Amino acid sequence: MSFGGPPWQHEPHQQPYASETPDWSALAEAAAARTRRKRWLVIGGAALATAAVGTVIAVAIVSANGGADSTTASDKTSTAPELPTDTSKPQPSFSSVAPPPPPNPMDFISSAEKDTAPLSAESLFPGKRLTMGDRVYRKGATASTTDCAAVTQGGLGAVLAKHGCERLIRATYERDGVAITVGVAVFGTQAAAVGAKEESSGGIAPLAGSGVGDFCRANTVCLRRANSLGRYAYFTQAGYTSGKKVTKADGSVFKTSDDLGTFAFNQIYARGRLQASAAAAAPAQ
């Protein structure tokens, strides 16, 4: 079953009225005196400016013609690189050929010829617990077999055989009364794994043991899903350990299926990434 705040105002200030007649003669003398003072200030200022320019020019000449004694310590420090003067010696050269791109993890998990790292139930499903976000699943039993059809239900066995399943590795996880078995089937090519996923029917047989009782028995309803990555197809079957039938309203079962499907995907891809990293670090032949 696949369910997949105003401005201040001021009054004007009144000036007192003056009634006396101005002394025009005194005002004229004061204006003439101010004019004379300004003239002398202008003349004096020009002289000072001329003297200052002369000083600057003199300093510039001394600085330009001075020897090592006129150079400050900071002037003696240079950060510019020295260019080579002896061109008879070999100079460094740089290759115009771009380095090859890093290996693609998918290349390693898509073909049996490259995917040669050891593979086991423990390498795919390590540890005793699985944590996904705030959810912790306890791992139950694990198993591995080359007889893929023998650990399936319905028509899945025939589909796996048709596409050349080489090995099927299973692991069971349980949390709050919901159990799930994940089965990873190994094929020779990516095309074979895709074919098995697309034609899948039935499901992976649930794996009880190691503290997890029977679940997804023949007379109940469980959630089955199938997917593939590279030359691997993976299948999940999730249900209640109590035997209760799974419905579309059972969010905990769907979340369990999502978590374990994501975990299987990540583990398979990590296998390709590790082999790609090893290949990149290997010395060139």
pLDDT in tens, 15-35: 333 334 455 455 556 655 665
44 or 117: whose pLDDT is higher? 117
Give this prediction's pTM: 0.66
Report the C-alpha gap between 124 and 274 in whole angstroms: 13
- Where is average pLDDT lowest: 1-5, 7-11, 238-242? 7-11
Average pLDDT over residues 123-135: 96
Q: What pLDDT, on the 0 to 100 scale, is given for residue 65?
A: 45
pLDDT at 101: 74
Q: Which helix (H) or strand (E) holds 197?
A: helix 190-198
Tens digits of residue pLDDT in 201-248: 999 999 999 999 999 988 899 999 999 999 999 999 999 999 999 999
Cite the beta strand spans of the chain per DSSP E.
129-132, 135-145, 152-153, 167-175, 178-186, 203-204, 223-229, 232-240
Q: Is 97 exposed, middle or buried (CB count within 10 Å of its CB: 0-12, 13-18, 19+)?
A: exposed
> Worst-scoring range by mean pLDDT, 8-12, 87-91, 184-188, 257-261?
8-12
Mean pLDDT over residues 158-162, rounded?
Answer: 98
pLDDT of 83 reads 53
70-120 pLDDT tens trace? 444 444 454 555 555 565 566 566 556 666 678 899 999 999 999 999 999
Residue 52 pLDDT more than 50?
Answer: no
Q: Helix, strand, or coil here: 279?
A: helix
Pairwise CA distance, residues 111 & 274, whole Å: 15
Q: Shortest CA distance to 2 belongs to which of 166, 249, 250, 226?
A: 226
Answer yes or no: are the C-beta atoms of 234 and 265 closer than 8 Å: yes
Higher pLDDT, 183 or 62: 183
Q: Which pLDDT does position 84 carry in this prediction?
A: 56
Assigned token pair, 121 = 């139930």
Mean pLDDT of 254-259: 98
Angle at 49 between CA 47 and CA 54, to 5 degrees: 95
Per DSSP, the three-state class of 179 is strand
